[in-house]
Amino acid sequence: MIVGNLSFNLITPILRRLLSGTAWNEAILITQWEVVRAIFGGRGNTFARIVQNATRLGAQETGQASRRTGIDRDSLPRDLTASQWAGLWTVVRT
């Protein structure tokens, strides 16, 4: 278990390291909505745009990743289940 109050500039590298590990099968992340908004592109962005900003994938690759994980293109990040987030991570990192 890892618990901490992470500063804004450390969240992304720490998450990348944790998510790339193979020992994790369950995790709970709590962060401030303002931090998420700042990292992923601000208010009003579509889910596809957020994924593009976070992964540097193009629109076509983002659409394919969303379809493969059963994510509706009009979904908001808060609408996704933990399984969808995990599936998306698996698809975009390969």
Residue 31 pLDDT: 67
- Percent of the chain beyond pLDDT 90? 0
Name the amino acid, one letter, at 5. N
- Residue 73 inside a domain? The answer is yes
- CATH number for the domain harbouring residue 54: 1.10.8
- What is the span of the domain harbouring residue 73? 8-19+27-93
pLDDT band at 86 (very low <50, low <70, confident <90, very high): confident
- Residue 69 inside a domain? The answer is yes
- Residue 2 inside a domain? The answer is no
- Residue 1 inside a domain? The answer is no
Number of domains in the chain: 1
Is pTM beyond 0.75 here?
A: no
pLDDT digits (tens, 9 = 90+) for 66-78: 889 998 877 877 7
pLDDT at 8 over 70: no
pLDDT digits (tens, 9 = 90+) for 32-60: 666 666 666 666 567 777 788 778 888 89
- Find the Cα–Cα–Cα–Cα dihedral 91, 67, 50, 8, rounded to 10°: -40
